[in-house]
Chain A
């Protein structure tokens, strides 16, 4: 199972919106609405920010939103803040009943 494809880095100025894509196949993202997104700051464990494509856990800002079209899922961060800097990973359930993570995206606030 190959990793889902994400851009290596995305940057934006404070207040702007950015979108991170996550491309898979018809056997994972394209088949299930079971995409989740995680934020990881340096030296810490990942943190769930989006689950089942569009849902936010309690306590997660509504500046984070998720969507999906075909084999590609996307995470949008609106009103970008310095605190949003970090690494972001998508994850999908697969038809093999396993899971696959994305390659990861470094978000930088300019």
Chain B
């Protein structure tokens, strides 16, 4: 059974840093592109970043470029999001999502349950 479990969310002051993790199980992690998606309280979904299975290609949304870093450890089937220079507007539930290997691979077939990051003084 495919499972994705995020952790690391916390209350953090503006300007601070936080590292999120996503533990994957039930599939060959290194074969899949992985993404981070966030959702501010009561708001819509926003794509954040993605990383290829071997870590060789990374892309970011403009809103986080230069502040966030996505990475992975395939030996531990884990995905990470290092978040620096956090702002109030980064407050959100952060989901990790698996991109399907079927077809174009441009859609998510599994999501985690999310971890809440609150940026506030």
Contact = CB atoms under 8 A, between A and B. Distances in A.
Interface residues of B, number: 23
A98 B44 contact: no
Interface stretch (A12-20, A70-78, A100-108): A100-108
Interface residues of A, number: 28
Given A1-B62, A45-B114, A48-B107, A89 B44 contact: yes
A45 B113 contact: yes
A38 B110 CA distance: 11
Contacts of B45: 38, 40, 46, 89, 91, 101, 104
A101 B113 contact: no
A46 B111 contact: yes
Interface string A18-52: 00000000000000101010101000111110011
Interface string B81-95: 000000000000001
Given A46-B45, A51-B100, A99 B50 contact: yes
Contacts of B47: 91, 98-101
A3 B69 CA distance: 22
Contacts of A44: 113
A103 B108 contact: no
Contact of B104 (A34, A40, A101): A34
Interface in B46-85: 46-47, 50, 59-62
Contacts of B59: 97-98
5 contacts: A45-B112, A91-B47, A98-B60, A101-B47, A104-B44
